[in-house]
Amino acid sequence: MRAARLMTSNDQEKDVTGATIWLTGLPSAGKTTIAYELAGRLKAEGRRVQVLDGDEIREFLSAGLGFSREDRHTNVQRIGYVAELLARNGVLALAPVIAPYADSREAVRGRHQSEGTAYLEVHVATPVDVCSVRDVKGLYAKQAAGEVSGLTGVDDPYEAPESPDLRIESHQQTVQESAAALHALLTERGLA
């Protein structure tokens, strides 16, 4: 893992290791909520953190992309590129992004490995029936009513990670417990 050199407030250099933490899972699984909870904790500890919210990225960096397999792959690669740039410069980049295809996620991991940048994959493994009850954006209701199609995990594929660095069962613990489990992994890996 590569460490970035940062100047502290008293003009001393300090080594800081950045990383990308990719939270993958179905829509309404709790990825973004967990990411922001963890970000708050890490910021309170003095770490530089950036949440790369998938919805915001779609609006500003990937505007114009649809939801075909190719467009989803392009979106994931763009987010992965930005996350790696941040991480290589000492930022903990939290990416709560569905990224439904294993090959897209593996390409992002490969980019990080080739650059010597830490990368962790976290599967927020919330069952589809729980996600559909949460339905944060109303997508499951719209899909059930026939208003939208291509909903990941319902009528479009979601390839769950086979060997993530961490699997979070968000439906069986609080947001704070989920963030704490992820914080513990970062600490174990020397990233927090």
Q: Which two tokens stand for residue 95?
A: 């990416």
pLDDT tens for 147-182 read 988 899 999 999 999 999 999 999 999 999 999 999
Q: How far is Cα 83 from Cα 77, in angstroms, rounded to an integer? A: 10
Q: How far is Cα 114 from Cα 112, in angstroms, rounded to an integer? A: 5
Which residues, 6 or more positions from 191, have their beta carbon under 8 angstroms from its beta carbon? 17, 19, 92, 118, 120
- CA 156 to centroid of chain Cα atoms: 20
pLDDT computed for residue 63 by the predictor: 86
Q: How far is Cα 192 from Cα 182, in angstroms, rounded to an integer? A: 10
Q: Is 82 helix (H, G, I), strand (E, B) or coil?
A: helix
pLDDT computed for residue 6 by the predictor: 47
Q: What residue type is 21 in one-letter code?
A: I
pLDDT computed for residue 188 by the predictor: 96
Q: Which residues of the chain have pLDDT under 70?
A: 1-15
Q: Which two tokens stand for residue 155?
A: 């009528």
